[in-house]
């Protein structure tokens, strides 16, 4: 089925640690209105709010959370912490 318009609806900013929130904000200022930027790798519990404040539409889970040897239980706990932190961030 063809898309109704050409182009992407969003862009993954990767690696996120090399593209801090101020870069995300600057990109959004020049990209077409409505472009969604998703920060990948480098987003953590400590900087998630900064990316959201800059306009991030979402996040890629950092590989630190899903490294080899981690148990399913540990991964579950980490994902819950990530999701809880996301829910706690004020939106305004």
pLDDT for 61 equals 73
pLDDT for 43 equals 87
List, in sequence order, every residue forming a beta bridge with 39; answer none if it has no partner.
13, 59
Q: The pTM is what?
A: 0.80
Biggest CA pair distance of the chain? 43
Sheet holding 10-13, edge to edge: 10-13, 36-39, 58-59
| CATH number, domain 10-88, options 3.30.420.40, 3.30.1310.10, 3.20.20.70, 3.40.50.300 | 3.20.20.70
pLDDT tens across 24-81, in order? 999 999 988 889 999 988 888 899 999 999 999 988 877 767 778 889 999 899 889 9
pLDDT tens across 5-28, in order? 667 778 888 888 889 999 999 999
Report CA-CA distances (Å) from 50 to 3, 12, 21, 74.
33, 17, 6, 26
């Amino acid at each position: 089925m063809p898309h109704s318009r050409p182009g992407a609806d969003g862009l993954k900013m990767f690696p996120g640690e090399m593209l801090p929130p101020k870069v995300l904000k600057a990109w959004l200022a020049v990209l077409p209105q409505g472009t969604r930027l998703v920060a990948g790798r480098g987003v953590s519990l400590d900087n998630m709010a900064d990316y959201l404040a800059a306009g991030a539409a979402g996040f890629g889970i950092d590989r630190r959370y899903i490294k080899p040897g981690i148990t399913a239980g540990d991964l579950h706990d980490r994902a819950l912490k990530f999701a809880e932190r996301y829910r706690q961030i004020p939106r305004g």
